Amino acid sequence: EPAADAAASLTELSDALGRLAPRLAPCSAPVPAGTGVLARLYEGDGLEAELRRTEAASQACQLCGAANPGQRSWSTDWDVDVAKRRMTPSRLLLVCGACGGARDLPRAINLFTRQFLRKAGSPDESAAAELLRHFLRVNGHDAADVHMLQDAVAVAHAMFVIQKELRPLPA
């Protein structure tokens, strides 16, 4: 049965992603980053006001602990129910720019693709290097573990493709 195969594959891939990136992993859900989808799901529930209150009260990134990070964004984790083809938000995090960049899978893929296609010393190269250093530090890896980010992006992308093909509806 295709749904059982998809569910088993997603479970296996999720376990692998958890081993590669125990604290900071690319988000594999096929939804745009940010709070737009949440605002539509919880329209009229006071979500925007609650988010603003939390932003004002929180002074640290909820993933890496960076104090007073300059650029912050919201990042959502989603649970996907393969059988019902539904996905529900499971966790909402206020993250620093570096963590937000690592969790935004399409943006990370585009950054690494642009870096690969351009010459050394480009802005994309320094942004990719910064993203890599942050990912390694937050997940407790050392500089010799460069492949961990590549592997995490590949696993998250595989999950993204499976989930996108299921066409789950946010609920």
pLDDT greater than 70 at residue 38:
yes
List phi, psi (to 5°) of 75. Answer: -135, 130
**Would the pLDDT of 22 be above 70?**
yes
The pLDDT mean for the chain works out to 87
Question: Does the pLDDT value for residue 44 go beyond 70?
Answer: yes
Helices 123-138 and 147-166: crossing angle, nearest 10°? 90
pLDDT of residue 119: 59
CB 92 within 8 A of CB 33: no
- What is the token pair recorded at 133? 């250093």
Q: Can you give the C-alpha Rg of the chain in angstroms? A: 17
Helix, strand, coil abundance in the chain, percent, nearest 5:
55, 15, 30
Average pLDDT over residues 126-143: 93
| Tokens 């749904």 sit on residue | 3
| Tokens encoding 56 | 């004002």
Q: What is the pLDDT of residue 125?
A: 76
Q: What pTM does this model have?
A: 0.85
Q: What is the pLDDT of residues 47-79, one digit of tens each?
A: 777 778 877 788 889 999 998 777 888 888 889
Q: What is the dihedral of CA 122, 28, 142, 97, to 10 degrees?
A: 50
Average pLDDT over residues 14-25: 97
Q: How confident is the model at residue 122 (pLDDT cuts 50, 70, 90)?
A: low
> For residue 136, what are the contacts with CB-CB under 8 A and spacing of at least 6?
142, 143, 145, 146, 148, 149
Backbone torsions φ then ψ of 91, nearest 5 degrees: -160, 135
> Domains of the chain: which residue ranges?
2-170
- For residues 22 and 49, the model is more confident at 22
Which range has the worst mean pLDDT, 31-35, 59-63, 112-116, 126-130?
31-35
Which residues are CB-neighbours of 171 under 8 A, at least 6 positions away?
Answer: 41, 86, 87, 88
